[in-house]
Amino acid sequence: MLAAVGRICCMSLPEASLHLQRPPLPENAVSNLHLISFDICPYVQRAVITLLEKGVPFERTYIDLANKPDWFLKISPLGKVPVLQVGNEVLFESAVIAEYLDETTEPRLHPADPLTRAKHRAWIEFASAGLMSLWNYYVATDDKAFAAARADIEAKLDRLEGVLEDGPLFAGETFSLVDAAYGSFFRYFPVLEALGETGWFDGRPKVARWKDALLARPSVQNAVQPGYADKLQAFIKGKGGVLASRIA
């Protein structure tokens, strides 16, 4: 099922890339879910992973964030992706989009118990803080800031190591929205390792197992296009920081 959905997603990619300036979908479109994306955005990936896990068909349009189309600026209050169009309605903010998808499609990925659900939301927020730490790491322009950013990421990995239980996923065997958030977070690490930045998971066996389980999952793999790692490297290189100097 997931593989099939992944193919639908990938088959629509060339079509999506032809429509960078495309206006919002008409009301009678085949699918009423239209995700507006940027090719390396981790927040977009959360929505895609959620859709793929649920087997929900959707259309996807990629925009260039360095040159945002007018139609996008009109519908995106913060000028950010992801944006999910539901028919003629617009949703923004990845957590809101994920929860809307979860409340309207099966299987439910958020836990039923309110306290557990609240804790899951908190750990999704922690993933956003982790993405910010990663951003600080690859824009750091001197060795001191670079080391401080790495220490910050490692402290967050330690915190995760402390809350994980038997795995392999955040809540055991059952995939949750927390996993969707961390699928895109962990995707950075193979790219960092390829640049010689290793050792992230040493002494953190639970996080390592969780990361491996997520990166092996079809929904996580198919949430980005082929060539993702090269695009991320090019993006990092463009930042001109310490990490950029490792890229040929």
Active site residues: 41
Please, what is the minimum distance in Å from the beta carbon of residue 84 to ligand GSH? Answer: 10
| Interaction of residue 91 with ligand GSH, rule CB under 6 A | no
Please, what is the minimum distance in Å from the beta carbon of residue 153 to ligand GSH? Answer: 17
Could you tell me the CA-to-CA distances from 198 to 124, 158, 192 in Å, in that order? Answer: 25, 16, 7
| Interaction of residue 212 with ligand GSH, rule CB under 6 A | no
| Interaction of residue 135 with ligand GSH, rule CB under 6 A | no
| Interaction of residue 65 with ligand GSH, rule CB under 6 A | yes
CB-CB neighbours of 125 under 10 Å: 12
Is the separation of the CB atoms in 61 and 21 below 8 Å?
Answer: no
Region of residue 72 (left: phi > 0; alpha: psi -120 to 50; beta: else): alpha
Among 41, 124, 134, 149, binds ligand GSH (CB under 6 A): 41
Q: Largest alpha-carbon pair distance within the chain? A: 55
Distance between start and end Cα atoms, the chain: 39
| Interaction of residue 81 with ligand GSH, rule CB under 6 A | yes
Distance of CA 25 to the CA centre of its chain: 24
Is the separation of the CB atoms in 36 and 61 below 8 Å?
Answer: yes
Among 22, 32, 38, 71, binds ligand GSH (CB under 6 A): 38
Q: Which is nearer to ligand GSH, 212 or 228 (CB)?
A: 228
Distance of CA 173 to the CA centre of its chain: 21
Please, what is the minimum distance in Å from the beta carbon of residue 111 to ligand GSH? Answer: 20
Q: Which stretch, 75-83, 119-127, 145-153, 197-205, contacts ligand GSH (CB under 6 A)?
A: 75-83
Instruction: For the segment 95-114, give every residue that binds ligand GSH (CB under 6 A).
Output: 95
| Interaction of residue 54 with ligand GSH, rule CB under 6 A | no
